[in-house]
């Protein structure tokens, strides 16, 4: 490269600075020379020469424009123009002429490379824009991609099949759950397989030892790394659940025993272990703390309910338990119904019916005979909230807290102490909830690559809030209108969990009865003409006869539907406050599904005809008809209501019309009826009796037959 002849001042300065005799000559402030750069790396700059000291990034800062020659300013202008027109690369330098290179002290290729290496692009970072950036965990990213691929190949987790019970199958499931699986070293040979101990351990807090004989487990020891006796007290129950999952049922061979239930429970343990931080955050202690507080509340409410039901009839203990389960704060259970973890039972189908109600001839009587034999709950559908933990961002939700003091020892506080306007007006006591201190993680012991923790104070970084939150998973999931689901999630500060717009092809009755709509709801007329569902069922009458019911569900004004599966929360009081609303939709769904989610296996033959309106008008004897038409009209706004139309002997026009409302806690109110005539007191008494009967049986067909036989003339 030929250097042009020039008398530029910066070029002369460069020639003089290249001479060792002029090493202290001050260089231009625009771009540092090679010698100046080398000197800055070997010797510290004097304080009085701060004007020529390179700034962080290797670019010398100019104190004023007067210190820069005119030719250098022209060269800077040329450089900026060419940079704007050059390629997008931040470090690629392009100049219009060699004169500009000379003016900028880049007359040689080595000087050009030095300047390019020293220059730094002035790119804006997320911090400059006010956006917090968290270090990504590459292992988690790879695991997420792998899980996505496996999900597409294997299908949803709840539909996966994990094979049959064996030692090899257990080790495979353990590795799938992300746990460490070890076999005793001296028994690693193939000949010992199926008859050796296997250890499955998590990274932080869980250890499980399996003893095998003939590929079937004979004993399981489970331990949590905790000094809390409340946590260790549940180890045996958890181990028993795992052993039941791996033990063949009576009359079932080992080859037909699957690993599916065991895999689900083991995944629950693995998830809580992964979210924990050794010696700082124990998710098992956090879940147990919530259980201890809810259990204390449950026992207090059960004792109060026992004094109420003792004066009524037998089964006082069971009736008090059912009352708290369905009307109060729910029943907490740990490792119940062959499922690992904490569950809060909040609703049970037919909770008011006991064995005496079934065996007694007057089973439809509102006041059945007392019985001291408790009814087993194995066959009843129980609605529960599975309380666990999941990864979350504390910017949006409050982090998990480890405490067993969520509620005060006195349980309730007087109405004068409460700030709830409802309690003040009613004069009732309210639960004395407490707010435990937040659980913080020490920054000194926390791994910088841990994605489960986020700085609570980005400026200091002294402590970290765990990026873990409580979550209540609905078991089974609950279908409800989209507006109701949005209100529930908004009440716990998790409104963004729900999509901004509902699914236009999912109605409430479609979500409930598992019948997605083929036409978007927005394209349908406001008034629905045909039935949304129809079934034919066989119903037993109180006298033991069987009657065919032709049921039709009408929805005049359809509503968007949503299936609620989980509710994030920060405090147990949020969950307890939502129980009345959850019971409302659970009971309504049970009523409708019990009638309209059945196969038409009991459909009448062709020669059988249903009772028509013409038959009613002509005075046909309805008792001899082979099928009874039961029309149900559903409305979800502003509150769920059901209107029934069915034939009743002696009623006006041969049929009756009843309107009922389903309110909080599954309470039924008969709004109107035309079956019973007489004084207003008699009508109100009949309405209360009808509402109590529907709550008692929880079945539309049985309730209709009871009304027809009780009030039919």
Q: What is the DSSP string of 462-530?
A: SEEEESEEEEEEEEEEEEEEHHHHHHHHHHTT-GGGS-SS--TT-BHHHHHTT---SS-GGGS-SS--S
In a domain, 131, yes or no: no
Above 90 in pLDDT, residue 244? yes
Region 166-186: what's the mean pLDDT?
91
Q: Where residue 471 falls among pLDDT bands split at 50, 70, 90?
A: very high
Q: Where residue 590 falls among pLDDT bands split at 50, 70, 90?
A: very high
Q: Alpha-carbon distance 191 to 645, whole Å?
A: 71
Q: Which of 45-54, 190-199, 484-493, 508-517 has the highest mean pLDDT?
A: 484-493
- Is the same domain home to 477 and 542? no
Above 70 in pLDDT, residue 567? yes
- The residue among 98 and 465 whose pLDDT is bigger is 465
Above 50 in pLDDT, residue 396? yes
Three-class secondary structure assignment of 6-33: CCCHHHHHHHHHCCHHHCCCCCCCCCCC
Region 61-66: what's the mean pLDDT?
40
Q: Alpha-carbon distance 183 to 211, whole Å?
A: 11
Region 641-652: what's the mean pLDDT?
87
How high is the pLDDT of residue 474? 96
In a domain, 477, yes or no: yes
How high is the pLDDT of residue 193? 82
Number of H helices, E strands in the chain: 20, 20
Region 622-650: what's the mean pLDDT?
84
Average pLDDT for the chain: 74
In a domain, 265, yes or no: yes
Above 60 in pLDDT, residue 177? yes
Above 80 in pLDDT, residue 479? yes
Contact call for residues 228 and 254 (beta carbons, < 8 A): no
- Is the same domain home to 476 and 529? no
Of 475, 504, 533, which one is at a domain's C-terminal end?
A: 504
In a domain, 2, yes or no: no
How high is the pLDDT of residue 100? 47
In a domain, 565, yes or no: yes
Region 428-433: what's the mean pLDDT?
82
- Is the same domain home to 93 and 66? yes
Paired tokens of 136: 């990504």
Contact call for residues 293 and 406 (beta carbons, < 8 A): yes
Contact call for residues 521 and 482 (beta carbons, < 8 A): no
How high is the pLDDT of residue 154? 61
213: CB partners within 8 A, 6+ apart:
194, 195
DSSP state of 328: S
- Is the same domain home to 229 and 156? yes
Which of 30-34, 181-185, 585-589 bottoms out in mean pLDDT, i.e. has the lowest?
30-34
Number of domains in the chain: 4
- Is the same domain home to 432 and 463? yes
Above 50 in pLDDT, residue 607? no
Above 50 in pLDDT, residue 36? no
In a domain, 69, yes or no: yes
How high is the pLDDT of residue 261? 93
Above 80 in pLDDT, residue 598? no
DSSP state of 132: -
- The residue among 468 and 505 whose pLDDT is bigger is 468
How high is the pLDDT of residue 472? 96
Q: Where residue 540 falls among pLDDT bands split at 50, 70, 90?
A: confident
- Is the same domain home to 231 and 257? yes
- Is the same domain home to 111 and 171? no
Helix (H) / strand (E) containing 687? helix 680-697
How high is the pLDDT of residue 279? 85
Contact call for residues 409 and 381 (beta carbons, < 8 A): no
Of 252, 275, 298, which one is at a domain's C-terminal end?
A: 275
Region 112-116: what's the mean pLDDT?
48
In a domain, 236, yes or no: yes
- Is the same domain home to 498 and 515? no
| Number of neighbours of residue 252 by Cβ within 10 angstroms | 10
Question: pTM of the full predicted structure?
Answer: 0.71
How high is the pLDDT of residue 84? 43
Contact call for residues 284 and 292 (beta carbons, < 8 A): no
Of 643, 660, 587, 103, whose CA–CA distance to 350 is shortest? 587
Of 243, 275, 307, which one is at a domain's C-terminal end?
A: 275
Contact call for residues 115 and 93 (beta carbons, < 8 A): yes
Q: Where are the alpha helices (DSSP H) in 555-622?
A: 572-596, 613-618
Which of 230-234, 277-281, 600-604, 670-674 bottoms out in mean pLDDT, i.e. has the lowest?
600-604
**pLDDT above 70 coverage of the chain, percent:** 62
Q: Where residue 543 falls among pLDDT bands split at 50, 70, 90?
A: confident
- Is the same domain home to 49 and 69? yes
Q: Where residue 364 falls among pLDDT bands split at 50, 70, 90?
A: very low
In a domain, 319, yes or no: yes
How high is the pLDDT of residue 668? 94
229-251 core/surface letters (b: 16 or more CB in 10 A; e: else) = eebeebbeebbebbbebbeeeee
Q: Which of 117-126, 130-139, 628-637 has the highest mean pLDDT?
A: 628-637
Above 90 in pLDDT, residue 9? no
**pLDDT above 90 coverage of the chain, percent:** 37
Domain span holding position 252: 139-275
- Is the same domain home to 548 and 668? yes
Q: Alpha-carbon distance 93 to 96, whole Å?
A: 10
Q: Where residue 192 falls among pLDDT bands split at 50, 70, 90?
A: confident
How high is the pLDDT of residue 658? 92
Above 50 in pLDDT, residue 558? yes
Of 498, 497, 493, whose CA–CA distance to 571 is shortest? 493
Which of 76-80, 239-243, 283-287, 298-302 bottoms out in mean pLDDT, i.e. has the lowest?
76-80
Above 60 in pLDDT, residue 410? yes
- Is the same domain home to 351 and 461? yes
How high is the pLDDT of residue 361? 34
How high is the pLDDT of residue 313? 63
- Is the same domain home to 539 and 613? yes
Q: Which of 7-16, 99-108, 269-278, 653-662 has the highest mean pLDDT?
A: 269-278
The structure tokens 């529930």 sit at 488
């Amino acid at each position: 490269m030929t250097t042009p002849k020039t008398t530029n001042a910066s070029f002369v300065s460069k020639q003089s600075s290249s001479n060792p005799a002029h090493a202290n000559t001050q260089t231009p402030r625009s771009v540092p020379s090679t010698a100046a750069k080398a000197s800055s790396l070997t010797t510290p700059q004097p304080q009085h020469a701060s004007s020529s000291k390179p700034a962080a990034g290797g670019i010398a800062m100019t104190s004023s424009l007067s210190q820069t020659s005119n030719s250098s300013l022209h060269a800077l202008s040329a450089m900026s123009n060419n940079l704007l027109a050059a390629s997008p690369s931040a470090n690629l330098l392009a100049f219009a002429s060699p004169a500009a290179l000379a003016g900028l002290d880049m007359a040689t290729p080595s000087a050009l490379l030095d300047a390019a290496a020293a220059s730094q692009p002035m790119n804006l970072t997320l911090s400059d824009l006010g956006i917090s950036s968290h270090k990504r965990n590459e292992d988690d990213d790879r695991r997420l991609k792998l899980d996505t691929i496996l999900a597409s190949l294997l299908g949803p987790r709840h539909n996966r099949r994990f094979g049959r019970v064996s030692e090899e199958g257990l080790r495979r499931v353990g590795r799938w759950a992300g746990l460490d699986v070890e076999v005793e070293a001296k028994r690693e040979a193939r000949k010992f397989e199926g008859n050796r101990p296997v250890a499955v351990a998590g990274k932080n807090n869980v250890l499980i030892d399996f003893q095998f004989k003939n590929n079937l487990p004979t004993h399981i020891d489970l331990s949590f790394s905790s000094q809390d006796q409340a946590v260790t007290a549940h180890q045996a129950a958890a181990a028993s659940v795992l052993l039941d999952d791996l033990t063949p049922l009576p009359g079932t061979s080992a080859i037909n025993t699957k690993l599916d239930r065991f895999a689900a429970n083991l995944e629950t343990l693995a998830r809580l272990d992964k979210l924990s931080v050794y010696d700082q955050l124990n998710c098992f202690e956090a879940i147990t703390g919530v259980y201890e507080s809810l259990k204390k509340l449950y026992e207090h409410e059960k004792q109060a309910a026992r004094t109420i039901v003792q004066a009524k009839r037998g089964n006082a203990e069971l009736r008090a338990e059912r009352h708290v389960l369905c009307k109060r704060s729910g029943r907490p259970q740990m490792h119940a119904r062959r499922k690992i973890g904490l569950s809060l039972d909040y609703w049970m189908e037919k909770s008011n019916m006991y064995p005496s109600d079934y065996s007694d001839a007057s089973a439809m009587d509102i006041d059945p005979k007392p019985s001291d034999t408790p009814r087993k709950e194995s066959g009843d559908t129980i609605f529960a909230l599975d309380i666990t933990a999941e990864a979350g961002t504390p910017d949006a939700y409050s982090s998990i807290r480890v405490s067993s003091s969520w509620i005060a020892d006195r349980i309730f506080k007087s109405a004068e102490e409460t700030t709830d306007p409802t309690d003040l007006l009613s004069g009732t006591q309210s639960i004395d909830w407490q707010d435990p201190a937040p659980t913080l993680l020490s920054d000194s012991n926390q791994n910088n690559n841990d994605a489960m923790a986020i700085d609570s104070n980005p400026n200091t970084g002294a402590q970290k809030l765990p990026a873990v939150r409580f979550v209540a998973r609905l078991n089974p999931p609950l279908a409800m209108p989209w507006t109701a689901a949005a209100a529930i999630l908004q009440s716990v500060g998790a409104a963004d969990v729900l999509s901004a717009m509902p699914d236009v092809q999912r109605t409430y009755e479609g979500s409930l009865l598992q019948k997605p709509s083929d036409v978007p709801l927005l394209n349908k007329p406001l008034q629905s003409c045909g039935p949304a569902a129809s079934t034919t069922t066989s119903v037993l009458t109180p006298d033991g006869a069987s009657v065919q019911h032709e049921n039709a569900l009408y929805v005049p004004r359809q509503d968007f539907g949503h299936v609620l599966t989980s509710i994030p929360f920060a405090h147990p009081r949020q969950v307890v406050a939502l129980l009345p609303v959850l019971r409302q939709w659970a009971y309504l769904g049970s009523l409708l599904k019990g009638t309209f989610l059945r196969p038409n296996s009991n459909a009448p033959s062709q020669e059988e005809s249903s009772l028509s309106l013409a038959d009613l008008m002509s005075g046909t004897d309805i008792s001899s008809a082979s099928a009874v038409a039961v029309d149900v009209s559903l409305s979800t706004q502003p509150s769920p209501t059901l209107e029934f139309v069915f034939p009743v002997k002696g009623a006006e026009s041969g049929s009756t019309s009843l309107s009922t409302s389903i309110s909080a806690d599954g309470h039924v109110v008969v709004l109107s009826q035309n079956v019973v005539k007489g004084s207003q007191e008699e009508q109100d008494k009949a309405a209360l009796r009808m509402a109590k009967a529907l709550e008692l049986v929880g079945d539309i067909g049985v309730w209709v037959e009871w009304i027809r036989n009780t009030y039919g003339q």
